[in-house]
Amino acid sequence: MIRRSFIAIALGALAACTGGGVPASSGGGGGITLNVNLTLNAPVGTPYGESGGYDPPVTTVAVGSQIHFINTDSFTHTATLIPSATEFPKGSPFGLSALMQHGTTLSGGFSSGALQGGSSSQTITADRAGTYLFGCFFHYGAPMRAAIVAQ
């Protein structure tokens, strides 16, 4: 009898949590995960040029969303902002600073740093509306680059 009451209370609490919550599209709660994998994510065309190595190639998020990158490959990548770019540059835009993890906002610039296989980046906040192109220090020309659109 005691156990049954406990279960009823627990289920009630669960219902309260899931009902009327934050819409999934806002990115609240668990945040948005971008997959980093050069082996699996084949090149595709985007409005910004050829993308590859990240999934999705173009991620649309609401301002305020929390984003992170997970490297599911067996070797190292970065996810590094290409500052002020409206299309993917022909040559690699990255310097050695891409190898050091820095930045926690899209508009402020960021890099995951050298992200080993199986590891996750820092959390990056979509702080301002805009289009943000990014790519990998090691494999930019593969191509390994993609876009985040915050709106």
**Region of 5-13, 18-26, 114-122, 128-136 interacting with Cu ion (CB under 5 A):** 128-136
Q: How far is the CB of 138 from Cu ion (least distance, A)?
A: 4
Site for Cu ion in 82-111 (CB under 5 A): none
> Residue 103 has which token pair?
């930045």
Tell me, residue by residue from 130 to 149, as one string, x for binding to Cu ion by CB under 5 A and - for no binding.
------x-xx----x-----
Residue number with CB closer to Cu ion (27 or 135): 135
**Cα–chain center distance at 88:** 18
CA atoms within 13 A on the CB side of 76: 10
Question: DSSP per residue over 102-129, as a string?
Answer: EEEETTTEEE--SB-TT-B---EE--S-
Residue number with CB closer to Cu ion (85 or 150): 85
Q: How far is the CB of 51 from Cu ion (least distance, A)?
A: 13
> Which stretches of the chain are DSSP H helices?
2-18
Q: How far is the CB of 104 from Cu ion (least distance, A)?
A: 21
Residue number with CB closer to Cu ion (10 or 42): 42
- Considering the rule CB under 5 A, would residue 67 count as an interface residue with Cu ion? no
Site for Cu ion in 68-87 (CB under 5 A): 77
Residue number with CB closer to Cu ion (81 or 144): 144
Which residues are near Cu ion by CB under 5 A?
Answer: 77, 136, 138-139, 144
